[in-house]
Amino acid sequence: MSSNRFDIEINGKACSAEKGETVFEVAAREGINIPTLCHDTRLEPAGACRVCLVEVEGQRRLEPGCAWKVSEGMKITTESDRIERHRKVLYGLYLADHELDSEGLPVETGNGNQLRELAMKTEPLALHPVEAPRAGRPADENPYIRFEPDLCILCARCTRYCDEVEAVNAITLANRGSQTTIATAGMRGLLDTTCELCGGCIDTCPTGALVEKKSPDPLPADARKVRTTCNFCGVGCQLDLHVVGTNGTSRVAKVTSPPPGETVNDGNLCIKGRFAYDFIHHEDRITEPLIRGEDGELHPATWEEAIAAAAEGLGKVKEKYGADALGFVSSSRCTGEENYLMQKISRAVYGTNNIHQCSAT
Amino acid sequence: MRKKGAQRERILHLLEEEGGVTEDAVRRISAETGVPEADIWGTGLFYTLISKPGKRVRVCDGLSCRIKGADELFERLAEQGKECERVSCLGQCDRAPATLDENLEQVCYGGVERGVMPDDPSLPMNLGGPRVDSYASLEKAKEIGSDAVIAEIEAAGLQGRGGAAFPAHIKWKGVRGQAETERYVICNADEAEPGTFKDREIILRQPHLLLEGLAIAAHAVGAKNVAIYIRGEFTSERRMIEKAIEEAGDKISDLDWKIYNGHGAYICGEETALIESMEGKRGMPRLKPPYPTEYGFRGKPTLMHNVETAACVPAIVERGGEWFKGLGRSEPGTKLYCVSGHVNRPGVYELPLGVTLDELVEVAGGYDGTPVAFSPGGPSSGFLPISARDVPLDFKSLANAGSMLGSAGLVVLNDTVDMVMATKWQLDFFERESCGQCAPCRIGTRYLRRQVDSFLADGDPDSLEFAGDVGWEMEEGSICGLGMVAAKPLESAMKHFPEVFEERSSE
């Protein structure tokens, strides 16, 4: 086993590494920053953005840290004049192919823009725009996901995510060279594809080329994240609610997943968890128990009163028609424990086997 | 994700049968194969022969065809009401200007005599001689065994003829030494480096040498399957290979032979892009390592050779590695040199590796006009001034001269050619053929072409201010060889012909 663990050197520092790891993984553990745009820990390394190129002793060319496998005694350099020049020109090329703001920086978006952050750290070469003929899908009427071709760097994180993580394959790289774009079959709107509108493509996009239609712009500076558990089903995905405004007027403006590797959902969400948050502030939302009175209207009540009213009503049915006149259906939004309790009420309290769960059909 | 699957491998062929990418075709193929529609759409649109349905005439855009009137021919054909399209080099530079008709059959407007060496049995490939189809070398190879065959290849010093000059025996040993026993031999017949048409001539004139060389290689490395990936524009060449496999019959039927069509993508000449294409994917080069000898077609050990490399093998087995090595002048063996442009008899000439340009052109009937520049191995090699006429045309000497032999597709330019315009034509090619996977190449090729266009329009030298930086980054940062060399035409033209650029600036 010992031969699987060995030391490598990064910028002169000895780092413990394991066979099969990449330079990027070892560096990250050691707190050494190797910038990247196309890497996502949930995906196979693509080595396509070229931002993470490092010097590997003995190799003539710069090599991608995200994909380069470590071996014993390997010597890596992540900062040098050569790498600095590489970054300046590479970022310059990216900027020549990107929508810029009035200061000449990649535009900020509601989904961030990591290229902007890189460009602020290393002054890119000022190159003329290349005006790449990259097609978008402006007529796509899906309600959630928007693709901005002028912000796309073709790192293919979205298409790889759709394939490798979701196995949905709704989007693809299409065309070639400078015409390469993110497409659907027939350039149809996402609603007419296999897309499940999970929005994972937005989540993985590093430059805001994919944004939420409901939240396309950067949130105000005082926006804060509130961690919660999604209640649409029993999986227990963690959500970060992006809350804007102060007490009383605060609203959820966007929902994202915690980063990959931190919670049970590993950075992923479904259409409901990510996009179906409008109910939170809906005027018709019921926020307290209601009991229908003799007058036929619903009246606010306490939980104790409501539960007592339900128990009484169920008891009367059983008394009059027998236990099997009752049936219990629990919601797919319940957890396993809640479903268990529901069948306990059905069988042990009321004495009927008429128990069902809505997602069991 | 490296997806494998027999169904996936079929999609390009099915798209070809459907006549190109349409929504309906994609839907049908998806239903038949289970491959997602988007994947079929995106893969199909990578390849120019199937990305646009419908039939049209294709007019070559290569340097040799441009200087022999391809632009005028295009206009003439368009005036005749033909639907026409400009396409990257068709590998018919000796018949410039070259075209393909609506059914991808070659149509000759050049009317030039096709140059080739006269019959000489002492030449390993002897393209001008009678067809060799005895398969005696294959029999001998089976008798002497794999180790002895590989030893002869090593003694011959055979270097990969596709352009990289990688020692062949190292690949053979690499594949043979793998633990995995499912192995493949692939012939790279995706000949598409502009100026190059030697593989075409081998296939048309000595197809059995190619098959025999591949069969010897397959037996030596323990492969049962041989695949030939031929560029989609080579219609008659494909027919020739099919016929040759049939003619060879029992002699090679112990191996499983399969021909794959290319679909219009220069990048598929890069070995890992070629494999991706065979697997039914966009022809985007893989990251290396792992190399194909370890992880190739279907993830299995794969020996891949250029047509010419394989065609050298029978003679080496028959007459010995030392003999082959001795045929070369500065490097081992003979070499098929393609020469076109401003020479009197363009063609493919088998000469000792390391002859000079003057010697080559003498065989090719002499210079047409006053030569000023040449491109030794397609646009990938950039330009050299005619003063480099004494540099041995071999891999090492040309590399030392800042160029490369590559696939030995030499194009000679005389003083009627505007070097800045010639540079732009070469940059056009790389922009069109970049796969788009990595930013240095995808953006860099377009940037350089646009800056040269801008310089051509107004002569402002500032247009080219950052060309050197961008070229440097393309070489340092691109994934594959295409991006690494795509700035060469501009870089070399500015280096060797600074006066041409200065003249334009001062106008």
Residue of A nearest to B474 (CA): A90
Q: pLDDT tens-digit profile of A90-100?
A: 999 999 999 99
CATH for B57-108 is 3.40.30.10
- The CATH architecture assigned to A224-281 reads Single Sheet (2.20)
Q: Does residue A193 belong to the interface with chain B, where contact is any CB pair within 8 Å?
A: yes
Q: Contacts of residue A50 in chain B, CB cutoff 8 Å?
A: 438-440, 477-479
Q: Which of A71, A173, A187, A194 to mutate to test the interface with B (most CBs of B within 10 A)?
A: A173
* Subunit contact B477:A94, Cβ cutoff 8 A: no
Q: Which CATH number fits domain A290-360: 1.10.10.10, 3.40.50.740, 3.40.50.1820, 3.40.50.20?
A: 3.40.50.740
Q: Contacts of residue B466 in chain A, CB cutoff 8 Å?
A: 89, 92, 125, 127
Q: Which of B260, B235, B284, B256 is nearest to B13 (CA)?
A: B260
The partner residue sitting opposite B287, judged by closest CB among A67, A88, A186, is: A67
Q: What integer pLDDT is reported at residue A361 of this predicted model?
A: 58
Q: Which of B250, B124, B272 is nearest to B186 (CA)?
A: B272
The nearest CA of chain A is from the CA of B22 a distance in Å of: 8
Residues of chain A with pLDDT under 70: 1-2, 361
The partner residue sitting opposite A94, judged by closest CB among B48, B439, B470, is: B439
The tokens of B496 are what?
Answer: 């060797």
Q: Which of B343, B347, B363 is nearest to B355 (CA)?
A: B363
Cα gap B501→B186, rounded to integer Å: 44
Q: What integer pLDDT is reported at residue B437 of this predicted model?
A: 97
* Subunit contact B38:A184, Cβ cutoff 8 A: yes
Residue ranges covered by each domain of chain B: 6-51, 57-108, 116-326, 335-408, 419-506
Cα gap B304→B302, rounded to integer Å: 6
- The CATH architecture assigned to A2-79 reads Roll (3.10)
Residue of A nearest to B435 (CA): A177
Q: Does residue A171 belong to the interface with chain B, where contact is any CB pair within 8 Å?
A: yes
Q: Contacts of residue B473 in chain A, CB cutoff 8 Å?
A: 85-86, 89-90, 93
Residue of B nearest to A186 (CA): B23
Q: Compute the 3-state secondary structure of chain B and give helix, strand, coil in percent, each to the nearest 5.
A: 50, 15, 35
* Subunit contact B445:A44, Cβ cutoff 8 A: no
The nearest CA of chain B is from the CA of A172 a distance in Å of: 6
* Subunit contact A164:B1, Cβ cutoff 8 A: yes
Angstrom CA distances, B186 to A179, B219, B228, B275, stand at 30, 13, 6, 9
The nearest CA of chain A is from the CA of B264 a distance in Å of: 11
The tokens of B236 are what?
Answer: 């008659």
Tokens 């073709």 belong to which residue? A154
- Interface contacts (A, B; CB < 8 Å): 159
Cα gap B303→B174, rounded to integer Å: 9
The ipTM (two decimal places) reads 0.95
Question: Hey, what CATH topology would domain A94-212 get?
Answer: Alpha-Beta Plaits (3.30.70)
Tokens 């010995």 belong to which residue? B320
- The CATH architecture assigned to B335-408 reads Roll (3.10)
User: Residue B252 corresponds to which amino acid?
Assistant: I
Question: Hey, what CATH topology would domain B116-326 get?
Answer: Rossmann fold (3.40.50)
Q: Which of A178, A179, A196 to mutate to test the interface with B (most CBs of B within 10 A)?
A: A178
Q: Does residue A172 belong to the interface with chain B, where contact is any CB pair within 8 Å?
A: yes
Residue ranges covered by each domain of chain A: 2-79, 94-212, 224-281, 290-360
Cα gap B149→B156, rounded to integer Å: 11
* H or E, element range at A357: strand A355-357
Q: pLDDT tens-digit profile of A180-219?
A: 999 999 999 999 999 999 999 999 999 999 999 999 999 9
Q: What integer pLDDT is reported at residue A358 of this predicted model?
A: 86
Taking chain B (507 residues) in runs of 10, the rounded mean pLDDT of each run is: 73 96 97 96 97 92 93 93 92 92 85 81 96 96 97 98 95 97 98 96 97 98 98 96 97 97 96 97 96 97 98 98 97 97 95 97 96 96 97 97 96 96 96 97 98 96 96 97 96 96 85
Q: Contacts of residue B432 in chain A, CB cutoff 8 Å?
A: 177
Q: Which of B3, B442, B469 to mutate to test the interface with A (most CBs of A within 10 A)?
A: B442
Question: Hey, what CATH topology would domain B419-506 get?
Answer: de novo design (two linked rop proteins) (1.20.1440)
